[in-house]
Amino acid sequence: MTRSRTSYDRSSVPLQGGYVAKRCPVRAQNDNDPAMSGRALPPTDAERQRMEAGNVFESVVFETLLAIHGDDAVIVDGALGRDDAQAVTVAAMDAGVSLVLGGWLPDDPEGRRVGKPDILVRSDEPGPAPYFPLDVKHHGLAVERDSGDDLIASPLSAPFPTVGERVGAWSFVPSHLLKDTLQLAHYWRMLEALGRAPETCVGGIIDRRAEPRVWWIDLGTPRWKVWWSDEPVSVLARYDHEFDFRLDVIAHTLLRAQEPALPRKVDPVWIAECGSCPWRAECRGELEATDHVSLLRGSRWTRFLEHRRRGVLTRAAVAALDLRTAWIIFGDARSSTTVDVAGLLDETAALDAMTPIPDAIGARRRTAFRRLADAGVATVGDLRALDPTTASYSTATTRVGFLPDLVDAARAAVAGHPFRARGIKEIEVPRADDEVDLDMESTEDGVYLWGLWVHAPATSRLASQVGYRAYGLWEPTTPEGELRLLRDVWACLGELQGAALAEDLTFAVYCYSGAEERQLRRIGRTSGDAVLIEEIRALVHSPRLVDLLKVVQRSIITGGSLGLKVVAPLAGFQWRDDDAGGEQSMVWYRAAVDDPDQTIREANRERILRYNEDDVRATAALRDWLSSVELPRIEDWSNAM
């Protein structure tokens, strides 16, 4: 096992819980920096609701387990203080009960850990009552696939790894898997320190689904590829690295509070986690002020590291990379073969500049020969004229993404306006005589609203039906309610399509992103209705369903997010609600369903409908704009723009 080197005295570092290892180290730094006190953003309404929903789900799981396992399960009162809760937890473990719910493990001062695993499950292995850690998560850790992985799960009636069965056609969601298992690893290390960890190194997650189950995950088998190891590492090894680093960050931060001249241990990098972080405003402002490279779409920590190793720290620096060199390395977006230009430069360093490329690199490198020739690189001298910084990305091809597209995106960001994508002579948007824009609204429990915007020429039979219509469910969402809504909207789409076909007119349905398609397929699949499933499949695989996001992705370059809320304003469209957003709509939905005041319920229903109507009108406006706009070509970009 590889552990990070301890660089600082950690004795003054506060004991850390199970979340710190899976969060950005900048958050750990800011959380413990006295100079940042009071500057964190409070949780949004949507975030508070998610936390509340998670607590409710955990309570339901606990009640279910208590009902099934009776006296062989102990729940630790959440109102107890730390000392009392830890004493109850240890007593239950000493008694060898099968399940300890809501426990609080004794502190691990040497490891600087504190932890409250949702569930501890007794192992049947010999020893002083060893326990497996389990956590309850209000998200779907595993999803059903046409062809999935070989996962192991057990029912709540027997939540033990020894009775787990292999489940086919299911796969873990990678982002959830990493965060969930890092938290399990934290509890595992605490159980080790307590002498209560089993020999079998596994932990479990009970995720959110109609029939909860325990997904068992091996914490000791190598599974993760990381930048700091040449070989895949286990969950425990990754946890050790991440946790140790954050302890160093916190120790350094506390030292810096006494010695302000010390630099920060870590600087902000914009990654997917940032959008929900309480320090997002602080970090975003700093990053925008420096034109930070991580502001490019698709940024993640490993990608930033590759840029930093090359001294490419800003979007302007990415824009200045040599596109010809990048193309020689990567080819086009469909190519799966890369060319090691940096390696070729090393190989030919001692050769005369006039040496022809075939003589310099041998005769077996067909891809390299072809790309070099197409780029006009005929001699070793031509090869040396390529940009060495761009060539150095030859060793980072799997971590930076498709570099030519990244360079184009950076150039659009520097210019501050969108461009036509490379090679696009004219933006092609599939159009139809009768057009319907489709958008759904959902919560963690499922879809509660389908909205449509109908557009038809004045000569069409549908001209009298132009406008917005919605199918909503203003009650707690259930699978039965979801299916009822789907059947209603599906019947409407069938009638609209039938009217178009009766007049020999073309018909198309438009959405933005694949969310609507996924929900149609999911609800249809769970219905068990073979006719409905086939009808949905036929639409999804036909040109009659158009995902405008795919049109945008292949046609224009904005330099930033391609979300509808960002792209539609390019077409001049604005949402009527200043707080429009998918997360906020979940808050409105809860008020629309649960608030005891009928006036508030009705106001929030109207707000949701207005927001949903704007969503479908936005896709219609974007489609019209894409069909008519004349954007400059990215090929014409220059530093002077």
List the CATH number of the domain containing 579.
3.30.420
Instruction: Specify the pLDDT at position 1.
Output: 30
Read off the pLDDT of each residue in 219-247 and give the average, rounded to a whole number.
Answer: 94
Beta partners for residue 633, in sequence order: 420
Same structural domain for residues 163 and 106? yes
Instruction: Identify which has the larger pLDDT, 614 or 146.
Output: 614
Q: Residue 124 falls within a domain, yes or no? A: yes
Task: Show Cβ contacts of residue 368 under 8 Å, excluding neighbours closer than 6 positions.
Answer: 339, 344, 361
Q: Do both 534 and 610 map to the same domain?
A: yes
Co-location of 115 and 205 in the same domain: yes
**CB of 485 closer than 8 Å to CB of 473:** yes
* pLDDT surpasses 90 at 578: no
User: The tokens of 43 are what?
Assistant: 């949780």
Q: What angle, 0 to 180 degrees and rounded to 10, lies between the N-to-C axes of helices 530-540 and 515-527?
A: 160
- What was the pLDDT predicted at 238? 97
Q: 208, 242, 315, 194: which is closest to 25 by C-alpha?
A: 242
Q: Is 194 helix (H, G, I), strand (E, B) or coil?
A: helix
270, 295 contact by CB (below 8 A)? yes
List the Cα angle 500/503/509 in 5-degree steps.
15
Domain-embedded: residue 160: yes
Backbone angle region of 572, left / alpha / beta, with phi > 0 → left and psi within -120 to 50 → alpha: left
Residue 20 counted as domain residue: no
Together in a domain, 480 and 410:
no
CA distance 120 to 107: 16
Q: Assess whether 209 and 292 both reside in one domain.
A: no
**What mean pLDDT is predicted for residues 536-563?**
95
Per residue in 356-397, pLDDT (tens digit) is 999 998 767 889 999 999 999 999 999 999 999 999 999 888
Buried b (16+ CB within 10 A) or exposed e, 229-245: eeeebbbbbbbbbbbbb
Residue ranges making up the domain that contains 610: 434-628
Which residue, among 174, 422, 414, 410, has the nearest Cα to 303 in the 3D structure? 410
Across the chain, mean pLDDT equals 92
Per-residue pLDDT, averaged over 155-182, amounts to 90
379 and 293 within one domain: yes
DSSP notation for 383-410: HHTS-HHHHGGGGGTTTS--HHHHHHHH
pLDDT for residue 147: 67
Do residue 439 and residue 410 come from a single domain? Answer: no
Whether 129 is covered by a domain: the verdict is yes
Angle (CA) 549-305-513 rounded to 5° is 10
Q: Is residue 638 part of a domain?
A: no
Residue with the two structure tokens 């220059």 = 638
What is the spatial distance between Cα 176 and Cα 188, in angstroms, rounded to a whole number? 18
pLDDT of residue 4: 43
Instruction: Please tell me whether residues 531 and 619 are part of one structural domain.
Output: yes
For 54-101, what is each residue's pLDDT tens digit?
Answer: 999 999 999 999 999 999 999 999 999 999 999 999 999 999 999 999
Q: Per-residue pLDDT for 2 more than 60?
A: no
Q: What region does 389 belong to: left with phi over 0, alpha with psi -120 to 50, or beta?
A: alpha
Model confidence at 7, pLDDT cuts 50, 70, 90, reads low
Using one digit for the tens of pLDDT, what is the confidence trace for 581-617? 888 898 999 999 999 999 999 999 999 999 999 999 9
Which of the listed residues 212, 238, 264 is the one where a domain comes to its end? 238
Query: Which pLDDT does position 641 carry in this prediction?
Result: 40
Q: Are residues 138 and 232 in the same domain?
A: yes
Structure letter (DSSP) for residue 348:
T
Residues 6+ apart with CB under 8 A from 365: 339
Answer yes or no: is pLDDT of 148 > 80.
no
Q: Assign residue 376 a region: left if phi > 0, alpha if psi is -120 to 50, beta otherwise? A: left
Same domain, 408 and 462: no
At position 147, the amino acid (one-letter code) is S
**287 vs 314: CA distance, rounded Å:** 9
* Backbone φ/ψ region at 70: left (φ over 0), alpha (ψ -120 to 50), beta: left
Q: What is the pLDDT of residues 395-428, one digit of tens each?
A: 888 889 899 999 999 999 999 999 999 999 999 9
Given 356, 387, 416, the domain boundary residue is 416
Question: Does residue 138 carry a pLDDT above 80?
Answer: yes
Q: What is the pLDDT of residue 62?
A: 97
Model pLDDT for residues 31-55, shown as the tens digit of each residue: 999 999 999 999 998 899 889 989 9
Question: How many structural domains is the chain composed of?
Answer: 3
Of 463, 436, 442, 427, nearest to 630 (Cα)? 427
Q: Is residue 610 part of a domain?
A: yes
Residue 608 DSSP symbol = H
Give the model's pLDDT for residue 465.
82
Tell me: do 410 and 443 sit in the same domain. Answer: no
Domain boundary among 238, 267, 293: 238
* pLDDT for position 640: 44
Is 119 within the bounds of a domain? Answer: yes
**Does 260 map to a domain?**
no
In one letter, which amino acid is 624? Answer: D
The mean per-residue pLDDT over the stretch 289-295 comes to: 97
CA distances from 490 to 184, 189, 470, 496, 616 (A): 43, 52, 12, 10, 17
Altogether, the residues listed in the chain come to a count of: 641
Question: Mean pLDDT lowest for which of 140-154, 326-340, 373-387, 610-624?
Answer: 140-154
SS3 sequence of 443-476: ECCEEEEEEEEEECCCCCHHHHHCEEEEEECCCC
Lowest-pLDDT range, 246-250, 330-334, 513-517, 560-564? 330-334
Q: Are residues 524 and 579 in the same domain?
A: yes
Q: How much is the pLDDT for 210?
A: 64
Query: Each residue of 91-104: pLDDT tens digit?
Result: 999 999 999 999 99
Residue 382 has a pLDDT of: 96
pLDDT, one tens digit per residue, over 440-455 is 999 888 999 999 999 9
